[in-house]
Structure formats: C-alpha cells, structure tokens
Chain A
Amino acid sequence: MSAPESLLNVPLNDLHITLGARMVPFAGYSMPVQYPVGLIAEHKHTRSAAGLFDVSHMGQLRLVGPDAAAAFESLIPVDVIDLPVGKQRYGLLLNDEGGILDDLMFVNRGTDIFVIVNGACKVADIAHIQAKIGSRCEVIPMPERALLALQGPQAVTALSRLAPGVEKLVFMTGGHFTVNTGTQQIDVFLTRSGYTGEDGFEISVHASDALALANALLAQPEVKPIGLGARNSLRLEAGLPLYGNDIDTGTTPVEGALQWAIQKVRRAGGARAGGYPGATKITAQLANEAAATGKKRVGLVALERIPVREHTELQNLAGERIGEVTSGLLGPTIDKPIAMGYVPLELAALGSRVNAIVRGKAVPMEVVAMPFVPTNYFRG
C-alpha cells in the first residue's frame, strides 16, 4: 500500500516499512497502524513486556525566556510557575470560551519549558502560542526532533541497559541522558511518562539519531514495535482521552472530566486564580458543576459482548437521545467492550445505566470508573 504523495514521512518511515508495518495517513503523516503480528498481540506485548511507538508526528516546541512560565500560564489553567525543574505536567490549551484547543505535556527543564502537543494540532497550536505570548518569550518549534515512546513493565529494564540512570526517574519527571548503542552515544531528552497506562518513557531525539536509537531499543529482548492501533486501544483502557474524539473545542476541562489537571493555585481562592482563557466560565463550572455543565465525559462498559464505537448514540432508559460515544472498542486486556462518551450529569454517577444504539439494537451500558485497566506508573 503506497501512501499519497502529500503525506509527510517520519524519520523512521523506512524502518516501519522494513518491519512490515501497515502504513496509514494520520495527522498528515504516513504512520504505522500495525505490524504483521497484529493489534491484539501488540497490545498484550505492551502490557506484559515493552512496546516501542514512533510518535514523531507529534509537535515539540520550546518556550524560552525569563517570562516563559508566566506567559504560558496565561494560556492554560495549570500551575506552570511553581513546577520544579525536571518535573512534567499535563496541560490544556483553551480558547476564550474555555473549550479545549489541544491537550499537551510540558516539562520545566530550567533553561526552557519543553512542550509536546498533538500532531494534528501542532501547526495551529504553535501559531496560537506564538500569537498570544510570542512577545513575552521565544516560541521555538523543534521539527528537527523525533519522538519515540517505550512503554510497558519491562521498558525500564530495556532502557536502563542502554542509558543507566533512567531507572531513578519517577512518573512525570525527565532529564537529559546519553543512550549507548554500543557503537554510538546518542543525546536524548526523556521523561518517564506515556499514553498507555504503563510505566515507560517518552524519548525526544534528534531526527538524525532516531534510527540508531530505534534499532538499539528493538535489539533489546523485551522490546517489539507497536503501531498506532494498539496505542489507541491501550490509551482507552487507561482512561486517557484522545484529542479530537473525547475532548475538543466544544468541551471544557470540567465537562471533559479533566478538572484534576487544574491545580488549586489556579482555582478560586488560589494565589494565581483565573487568568487563563475561559476562566470565568470554568471557575463557575468548578464551583457548581451540576448547575454549570450539561454534560460530562464518563467511562462505559457494555453489559453484552458487542463493541460500541465512536459516534454511537446513547439513550436513557426512556429511549431519549442523551449523548454519544466518543471512543469505543473491545479492550484487548479487559476483554470487554469499553467506551468513553458524554452523558448528562444526572446519568454520570457510577453505576448509572444507559443504552447504546448499535445497528438499531439497544445495548445496555453501565457508567464505571476509569481507568478500565489499572495503571502501572512508577511513583518511586
């Protein structure tokens, strides 16, 4: 299968093809959706050993300057200023209505704030950040960097063999490391984080070193290449939202059940309350969720073994449309049909029952706590 010429290639494109990947268009790039072993085996390998994901389509950028943290705080409802050096945090880029423009991860590296954004949003994100705070700090896109994720309970075993010291990091911290491939020393910046619910690392590397790094990781006995298909099933089991499906400009952090990402310091009564786009609306939603928001993202499990997919209509037990599923599949680890979707607050409590309408048939679903599969982060 050849990709249309308009698609961009990641630095590891030839490696993916050599490994037999099925390549698909994703966020403007030709990306590996699965390898010959198949999505379910890839998913299970990541849960039991270690999977290597190429996520080089994602956007990497630096915010540089003495005012960078304060400037970035004006765009996201998150504590940036007090984030210690070496620590990573989840953030949400908001529009003036409090809708989510993108979700992102950032690290205080001391000399800069290093930000990773979604591939499909990166051009708009960088333009937005540049327009809003480009006068207060330098906004430096890093198209020269590739991004690899090594995820799974044996990721630390595999990576610490090549880069001693990474085992000392805890979840949501990062640092500069040297990876010794045996023939080459590769400088990387990595964080102990990821998008699968497992322990693991996200590794930013210069594109010219990406192939040597990937080959060194794939040479470890624990590591196999994993495609975007399993990345999606892993993240859904972990209860993590996918931007564009589960959250978008039509949802606020509170509606998206992401208020945990808003630290006290930015909430009413906090030292730096408000001061981000949509703050008035979101502060009101935080104060009185029931009065302020009409909907909430919840986890759902089908009570029959029928996959319930995105855009499936959700109904209350009286047969009225109440919302829709935003992500859904048969979770390979949990072996049950799981989904995320939006329901009215009165049906958002754990144990609530709704019906998903699959090919005209009502499939009963129950609101459950997320994650669907317990997370396995290394907190030290």
Chain B
Amino acid sequence: MSIKYTPDHEWIKLDGDIATVGITHHAQDALGDVVFVDLPEVGKTYAAKDAAAVVESVKAAADVYMPANAEVLEVNEALRADPSLANSDPLGAGWFFKIKLANPADLDALMDETSYTSFAADSH
C-alpha cells in the first residue's frame, strides 16, 4: 500500500485499484476548524480533477478533487457527522471517500511523501 499526494493537498492511499482519499495535515492546518463537508455520491463516476467534495472551515470553502478517473465506492459518514475529524485525524478517521480507479497507473505522476513535504513547505 502506498500513499500519494496531489498539488491540491489531497492524499491518496492506494490498495490495488481501490484508493482512499482525504486532505493532508497541511491542508487542514491552512483551512482551520473544519465545520462542514460535502461528500460525493456513492456509485457516481468522476473524471480526474472533478470537484468531488467540499470542505469548509468557518471562514473558507475548498474543493477536494478526484485524483483520477474513478467511481465512488464509499464516503465517510463519520466525517459528515463530525467534520472536525478532518482536523484531528486528517490521514486516519478524517478520510473523505473511497474510490475504484479506472487505471491505477494514473496515480504514478503524483508526489510521494518526501516530494509533498517539500512542496507543502514551499507553498507557504
């Protein structure tokens, strides 16, 4: 299982052709207290870069993008009930959705942890 990162500050945990998607620690820190999430529809197919979810803090709203062509398998109902999970455990209990990738190789171009850490530090 490997974790990839997008330039839009999503993380993608890959397990075969199934992937779990959330926002990074850096993203939740920049947003501040998350008060609302709008999650995608289970069963719906999205294209890469489609806005699939929305995460809102008191002051700002941000889109969460689909990292590749995929179908939504499951959304995190616990996060819908308690959006602050995105702050307290962004890479764990605060995950957003699980997807079935049309082509797992689509994720090859994304950043690994080392590249992302350096990218996030520079994006300040």
B36-A332 in contact (CB<8A) = no
Contacts of B54 in A (CB 8 A): 359
Report the nearest A residue to B30, measured CB to CB. A22
How far is A359 from B63 in the complex, measured between Cα atoms in Å?
A: 11
Q: Is B57 an interface residue (CB 8 A)?
A: yes
Q: Is A1 an interface residue (CB 8 A)?
A: yes
A330-B58 in contact (CB<8A) = yes
A233-B58 in contact (CB<8A) = yes
B58-A329 in contact (CB<8A) = yes
Contacts of A38 in B (CB 8 A): 32-33
Contacts of A140 in B (CB 8 A): none
Q: Is B101 an interface residue (CB 8 A)?
A: no
B38-A1 in contact (CB<8A) = no
Residue pairs across A and B with CB atoms within 8 Å: the count is 36
In terms of DSSP, what is the predominant structure of the interface of chain B? strand
Which residues of A285-302 have CB atoms within 8 Å of chain B's CB atoms? none
Contacts of A359 in B (CB 8 A): 38, 54
Contacts of A330 in B (CB 8 A): 35-36, 56, 58
Which residues of B63-112 have CB atoms within 8 Å of chain A's CB atoms? none
* Stretch in contact with the other chain, from A118-126, A260-268, A303-311: A303-311
How far is A332 from B34 in the complex, measured between Cα atoms in Å?
A: 11
* Known pairs A307-B56, A329-B58, A329-B59; A39 contacts B36 (CB<8 A): no
Q: Mark A13-53, 1 if CB is under 8 A from B, else 0.
A: 00000000000000000000010001110010000000000
* Known pairs A38-B32, A39-B33; A306 contacts B38 (CB<8 A): yes
Least CB distance from A336 to B in Å reads 11
B32-A307 in contact (CB<8A) = no
Report the nearest A residue to B33, measured CB to CB. A40
How far is A39 from B32 in the complex, measured between Cα atoms in Å?
A: 7
Report the nearest B residue to A306, measured CB to CB. B36
Q: Is B61 an interface residue (CB 8 A)?
A: yes
Contacts of A141 in B (CB 8 A): none
24 contacting pairs across A/B (C-beta < 8 A): A1-B124, A34-B32, A39-B32, A39-B33, A39-B57, A39-B58, A39-B59, A229-B32, A229-B58, A229-B59, A233-B58, A233-B59, A306-B36, A306-B38, A307-B35, A307-B36, A307-B56, A309-B61, A329-B58, A330-B35, A330-B56, A330-B58, A332-B58, A359-B54
